[in-house]
Copies of this chain bind each other. A is one copy, B any other.
Amino acid sequence: MLQPVANTEPPLLAALARRPVSRVPVWFMRQAGRSLPEYRTLKGVDSILTVLQDPSLAAEITLQPVTRYGVDAAILYSDIVAPLAYAGLEIDIVAGVGPTLEPPLRSRRDLGRLARFHVEALGPMAETVRLVTQSSPVPLIGFAGGPFTVASYLIEGRPSRDYVHTKRLMLSDPELFRDILARLTDIAIATITTQVRSGARAVQIFDSWVGALGTRAFVTHITPHLRRLAAAIDALGVPSIYFSVGTAHLLEQATSLGFSALGVDWRVDLSSLARRHGHHLAIQGNLDPATVLAPPDALIDEVRHVVASSRRAPGYIFNLGHGVLPESDPDVLSRIVEYVHEEGTALRSLCGDEQ
């Protein structure tokens, strides 16, 4: 017989702690934003960086998907380069392109530009977090960018496919590269500290592009910064999720950095990950966002497969493997939430019994 779970702890936090949940928690990366008509109405044509200066507007955007979908977490409406933009670095977020920096950061002299960051510049972000947590029925997840991913935008000057400038700098001047990443790690820690002190109850590190590196480069140049980041979040007393894309080759390393949970994309075999690492961290993911555009039967089949694959992980959070695509139908996302909460919860309970 199944034991009904009496736990009233928010499912997100219970799952992150690998404790029993009242239902399988679910949220979506980029749940706030582009795919929601109420967001497009509210935001108008302003740049996200302009919107972020208005805490009540940013808070409302953060809460829109919580209201609409009934997801188990709010995720702060912001951007991984926003802390630097708040502090006056020449960052823009260009529609249809992404973050740009002109001129890019490529020399030791450029390192001085990162010194402009000061935590007081995060005032509007702190206020947004306070407004959200005052009225949100679910925990708010704060976030920061992984140091490699943020560095890649700053060094390339724009989104990249090859990360040529970033890798060249890493290989040709490893000391400067280390100093840039150390500074970006400091900034990530300051950002997260501000968010947690303002009410965020969990933190996600978005390190989307770190999968551009092979294992050797990841271990040599990146993991020391990530360990420090994980320890700093731990010291704040909140759980942490480390998310990246295309990192099936880095799982052994990524699971031992000290984060509470690993967020993975659809390229990762969730079943194997759950079996091998589910006993020491929580797992989050990993439906291909393109699946949301598929017909209902194909979609539900994939959602079921993802949830079933998670069953060896005591702590599991359903999510997409990357951000919600702008073309996504919000009603389909609602259906996924409903399915995961009901059938998904039953499925994981049943599977758990079979172990």
Q: Indicate how many identical chains form the complex.
A: 2
Q: Which of B211, B214, B327 contacts A164 (CB 8 A)?
A: B327
Report yes or no: A291 in contact with B171, Cβ–Cβ below 8 A.
yes
Q: Which of B161, B168, B267 contacts A293 (CB 8 A)?
A: B168
Q: Which of B172, B268, B299, B325 contacts A249 (CB 8 A)?
A: B268
Where chain A touches its partner, the secondary structure class is helix
Report yes or no: B246 in contact with A290, Cβ–Cβ below 8 A.
no
Q: Which of B172, B215, B266, B294 contacts A168 (CB 8 A)?
A: B294
Verify if A109 is at the interface (C-beta below 8 Å from B). Answer: no
CA distance in complex: A305, B164 (Å): 20
Interfacial chain B residues near A266, Cβ < 8 Å: 214
Interfacial chain B residues near A164, Cβ < 8 Å: 290, 293, 325, 327
Report yes or no: A267 in contact with B168, Cβ–Cβ below 8 A.
no
Residues of chain A from 256 to 280 with CB closer than 8 A to chain B in the complex: 266-269
1/0 per residue A160-180: CB within 8 Å of B? 011110011001100000000
Chain A interface (Cβ < 8 Å from any Cβ of B): 161-164, 167-168, 171-172, 211, 213-217, 246, 248-249, 266-269, 288-291, 293-295, 298-299, 305, 325, 327
7 extra interface residue pairs, beta carbon distance < 8 Å, beyond A164-B327, A172-B293:
A162-B325, A167-B293, A171-B290, A171-B293, A172-B294, A213-B267, A248-B249
